[in-house]
Amino acid sequence: MKRWSLYIGRRLLHMVLTIGIIASVTFFLMNALPGTPYNNQDRLTAAQLDMLNRKYGFDQPLLQRYVSYLKNILHGDFGISLQFSDQPVSMLLSQRIGPSMQLGLQAVVFGTAMGVLLGVLAAMHQNRFLDVFCSLFAITGRSVPNFVVAVLLQYIFAVALNWLPIGLWNDGFRSTVLPTLALSISPMAESCRFIRTEMVEVLSSDYIELARAKGMSEIRIAFSHGLRNALIPLITVLGPMTVSLMTGSLVVENIFAIPGIGEQFTKSILSNDYYTIMAVTILFSALLVTVIFLTDILYQIIDPRIRAEGAK
């Protein structure tokens, strides 16, 4: 037990360290960026530039700004946005985190649920039509980038058929359908493939044979005996899944004009909005590191064999 808590402590320390390093690296990278964050920099005179720099504190020495930046982050202050009329970045992002979270959650839940279902069906019909179909689907889902899927969905269901809104976030659930579908393709493909491999293994084990001998129906065997054991390792792919969702959200949110974090990030990249870029980078990294940490811990709690190894 002591080793276990030591392990968690070490991992937590790593997490903090990682986020700290990322914050520092982005800070210095931002300062190495060419150009200024001011939209109309060509028309500014030297005196005006000077005044602006003083206003935003860009005239102070780099190291001093670095220290005060880190200090402010600890207080939850990410500076002010240089593009959106001097709003605090933390406020800007907290307004936008809702849509992103909703989309991400919907995509993960829908994607894994469908993926697990398809994976189980494929394993039950191993090497038959349904299996081939599912593996084709999985490899297509892995190969086709989600922004292509997003654009195709948008064209088919919004432009050609006119069933669903083409974008924006003003039609309640209806406007979340297409982006969720586009984002859920990759978790769906990933979990389908994963569950199929696990299920094929589980379904050939002795206790399944026993259940079969007792006359249980195939569906009951697959879902209540097999799936339970095949689901555990799925936790390990949750981390990579979150990453792919984050990447996806950057451009999918753009395509559907959703007021989320990803869209904010692309906007701030194209306009050198230092503080927003830094804040989103730190947010994304923190999210990623936390998800990886949580999945590792969760996996070890569920599977004692791994815990013994990890504590070593």
Partner 1 sequence: MMKRNKEMTKAVSLVPDSAFVPCKPGETEAEPPLPRALSFLEDSWRKLRRNKAAVVTMILLLVIAALAFLAPVIAPFDPNEQHLSWKNLPPKWPHVSIDGLNGTTLFRGRRVDSYALAKVPEGQYFLFGTDEFGRDLLSRCLWGTRISLMIALVAALLDLSIGIAYGLFSGMKGGRWDHVLQRILEILSGIPSLVLVVLMLLIFEPGISSIILAMTISSWIPMARVVRAETLKIKQMEYVQAARALGATDAKIALSHVLPNISGIVIVRAMFSIPSAIFFETFLSFLGVGMKIPNASIGTLLNGGYKVFRLYPYQMFIPAVILCVIMLSFNLFADGLRDVFDPKMKEG
Write out the residues near partner 1 by the rule CB under 8 A.
Answer: 14-15, 17-19, 21-22, 25-26, 29, 32-34, 139-140, 142-145, 147-148, 151-152, 155, 159, 193-194, 197, 237, 243, 246-247, 250-251, 254-255, 265-266, 269-270, 272, 277, 280-281, 284-285, 288-289, 292
Q: Give whichever of 49 and 286 is closer to partner 1, judged by the CB atom.
A: 286
Q: Give whichever of 130 and 144 is closer to partner 1, judged by the CB atom.
A: 144
Site of tokens 């996996």: 299
What are the residues facing 53 on neighbouring strands? none
CB of 253 to partner 1, least distance (A): 11
CB of 282 to partner 1, least distance (A): 10
Q: Give whichever of 109 and 132 is closer to partner 1, judged by the CB atom.
A: 132
CB of 167 to partner 1, least distance (A): 12
Q: Print burial letters for 210-239: b (CB count within 10 Å at least 16), e (below 16).
A: ebeeeeeeeeebbeebbbebbbebbbebbb
Site of tokens 């994976």: 119
Read off φ and ψ for residue 172, nearest 5 degrees: 60, -135
What are the residues facing 80 on neighbouring strands? 88
Q: Give whichever of 44 and 144 is closer to partner 1, judged by the CB atom.
A: 144
Q: For residue 187, how many other CB atoms are within 10 A of its CB?
A: 27
Q: Give whichever of 205 and 217 is closer to partner 1, judged by the CB atom.
A: 205
Dist. CA 100–CA 142, nearest whole Å: 22
From the list 139, 147, 137, the residue with the least C-alpha distance to 179 is 147
Q: Give whichever of 105 and 269 is closer to partner 1, judged by the CB atom.
A: 269
CB of 2 to partner 1, least distance (A): 21
CB of 213 to partner 1, least distance (A): 28
CB of 122 to partner 1, least distance (A): 12
Dist. CA 178–CA 256, nearest whole Å: 8
Q: Give whichever of 92 and 200 is closer to partner 1, judged by the CB atom.
A: 200
Q: For residue 2, how many other CB atoms are within 10 A of its CB?
A: 7
CB of 256 to partner 1, least distance (A): 12
Is residue 100 within 8 A of residue 253, CB to CB? The reply is yes
DSSP 3-state of 39: coil
Q: For residue 33, how many other CB atoms are within 10 A of its CB?
A: 11
